[in-house]
Amino acid sequence: MTPRGRIGLGLGLAVFVFAADQASKQWILHGLDLPDRGRVPVLAPVLDLTMVWNHGVTFGLLQAHGGLGQVVLAGVAIAVVAGLLVWLRRAESTLVAASIGAIAGGALGNVADRARYGMVVDFIHVHWGATELFPFVFNVGDSAIVLGVGALLLESVLAPRARLPAEPPRA
C-alpha cells in the first residue's frame, strides 16, 4: 500500500471507530435508556450492558473528578491524537496505519464524551457470573484503543527489521 493509501486507511478507520463509538453511546443512553435501567443482561453469564459514567481514562484508570481534571484529560487525549497523526504520516505498514487510526478514533470518541457530558459513557461489562474476570466496564472506543495498541505491540515484535551492518563502512 502506498503512503497515501496508509494515511487514508488510518484516517478512515479513525472516522469509522469514532462514529461507531458515538452511535453506540447514543443508543445506550437514548435508545436502550441504560442510565435508568442500570444493567441489561446480554449473554448470561458473561456479558452485560452496565451503565457507568467514567471520570478517568480507558477502563476508568486515572480518575479525574471535577471540571479541571476532565479538561486536562481531554487535552492530553487531543495531544496524543495529534502525535498519532504525525506518526500516521510516517507509518511504514498497513497494520501500523490501521492501529493508529483505531487508537485515534477511540480517543476522540472519549474526548467527545468529555466535551458533551463531562465524563465518558462506559457500558460493556465482561464477567463470569458474580466473578469479575475483567473488573472494568468499557466502551467501543476503549476496545479500539486496546486492540490498536495490542496490534502495534505485536507488529513491533514480529515485523522484520533492517539489520545494521556488522562493521561500519570504511572511508
Q: Is 21 assigned a catalytic role?
A: no
Question: Does residue 65 contact residue 135 with C-beta atoms inside 8 Å?
Answer: no
In tens, the pLDDT along 63-107 reads: 555 556 666 767 777 888 888 888 889 888 999 999 999 999 999
pLDDT < 50 stretches in the chain: 59-62
Q: 21, 48, 113, 122: which is the annotated catalytic residue? A: 122
Q: Is the full-model pTM beyond 0.85?
A: no
Q: Is 122 assigned a catalytic role?
A: yes
Residue 24 sits at the vertex; the CA angle it makes with 20 and 27, to the nearest 5 degrees, is 140
pLDDT given at position 32: 96
| Domain spans of the chain, in order of start | 3-157
pLDDT given at position 59: 46
Q: Which of 119, 102, 100 is nearest to 110 (CA)?
A: 119
